[in-house]
Chain A
């Protein structure tokens, strides 16, 4: 009968709209079809459930060795300068660029 054919068409049309719609905003025609077609309803429900579950997945963590490998390579290429063992910057004997602060050392150019 004609109704069977139109149902079939609508299933295809609904699937086509699944491709283009990411966010399941249904046209009236699609809503009508969904109210009549259990198969598409289940399909849509499954896909929505999937999307929901996907958002809940945690990002997995890489092994701690990964940073060591990256760091090693960065040092090898001279991109990073290894820090002195204990204190980060404060105790570093390296000539650090003077910070613009009320420090003991007065630079001559600060006061013109």
Chain B
């Protein structure tokens, strides 16, 4: 493999790897903290953004997650991956925030029509409204943002962040079955949003 001296992107001045940056951060080195921040900022921020759908809130929450992490960095012993730790922490910060706001993390069953009535049967006549045409990045991001909060949380955690249902159930204090059915409903809702000729703006109630 080629070993290029890495065009100094100023994110990794002295650090051989993440472990070294962690060790130096544990001694209070500012550049080590910045290095860790740069490594993980996108993933943490996007998690916050997708779960809240609001950039200002997302930055506040990402800040809170990093601060909580950095305050505790002295206790990090490497028994689990640093990124796992950080990410779990960020999820908790967001969930706490949603709880404080009083938003439903898990939707009520009534929010969507039962799938049997609303699902595939209807689709037959709507073949032309295929997903393909509307599935560019912008539409997809917009549709995710317009998912009702209760659906969005589990959807983001599972389909975008890669958590398993048992992990989600643990984090959210719901059953695994609940997590699965919420995920399914979220996917169906997202599909609906993407197939609709006009986005359901303001049709949240």
Chain A residues in contact with chain B, CB under 8 A?
8, 11-12, 15, 18-20, 22, 37-40, 42-43, 45-47, 49-51, 53-54, 56-63, 65-67, 69-71, 73-75, 77, 79-83, 88-89
Chain A interface: which of B86-94, B96-104, B130-138? B130-138
Residue B140 lies at the interface, judged by CB distance under 8 Å to chain A: yes
CA distance A22 to B154 in the complex (A): 13
Report B175-198 residues with CB < 8 Å from chain A CB: 180-181, 183-184, 187, 190-191, 194-195
Residue B66 lies at the interface, judged by CB distance under 8 Å to chain A: yes
Most chain B Cβ neighbours within 10 Å, of A57, A61, A62: A62
Least CB distance, B187 to chain A, in whole angstroms: 6
- Specify which chain A residues have a CB less than 8 angstroms from the CB of B140 in the assembled complex: 50, 53-54, 57
Q: How large is the interface on B (under 10, 10 to 19, 20 to 34, 35 or more residues)?
A: 35 or more
Residue of A22, A49, A74 touching B132 (CB-CB under 8 A)? A49
Residue of B33, B45, B124 touching A39 (CB-CB under 8 A)? B124
B63 touching A70, Cβ below 8 Å: yes
Which 7 A-B pairs rank lowest in CB-CB distance, beginning with the nearest? A39-B120, A59-B46, A59-B42, A62-B45, A19-B184, A80-B30, A46-B131
Chain B residues in contact with chain A, CB under 8 A?
13-14, 28-31, 33-34, 37-38, 41-43, 45-46, 49, 58-59, 62-63, 66-67, 70-71, 115-116, 119-121, 123-124, 127, 130-132, 135, 137, 140-141, 158-160, 165, 180-181, 183-184, 187, 190-191, 194-195
CA distance A47 to B195 in the complex (A): 12
Majority DSSP secondary structure for residues of B touching A: helix
Majority DSSP secondary structure for residues of A touching B: helix
B42 touching A11, Cβ below 8 Å: no
B45 touching A66, Cβ below 8 Å: yes
Given A20-B180, A50-B135, A57-B137, A70 and B67 contact (CB-CB distance below 8 Å):
yes
- Specify which chain A residues have a CB less than 8 angstroms from the CB of B63 in the assembled complex: 66, 69-70, 73
A19 touching B33, Cβ below 8 Å: no
- Specify which chain B residues have a CB less than 8 angstroms from the CB of A8 in the assembled complex: 116
Of chain B, the residue at the smallest CB distance from A18 is B184
Residue of A18, A20, A71 touching B30 (CB-CB under 8 A)? A71
B49 touching A80, Cβ below 8 Å: no
CA distance A50 to B130 in the complex (A): 12
- Specify which chain A residues have a CB less than 8 angstroms from the CB of B159 in the assembled complex: 51, 54
B70 touching A74, Cβ below 8 Å: yes
Least CB distance, A19 to chain B, in whole angstroms: 4
- Specify which chain A residues have a CB less than 8 angstroms from the CB of B46 in the assembled complex: 59-60
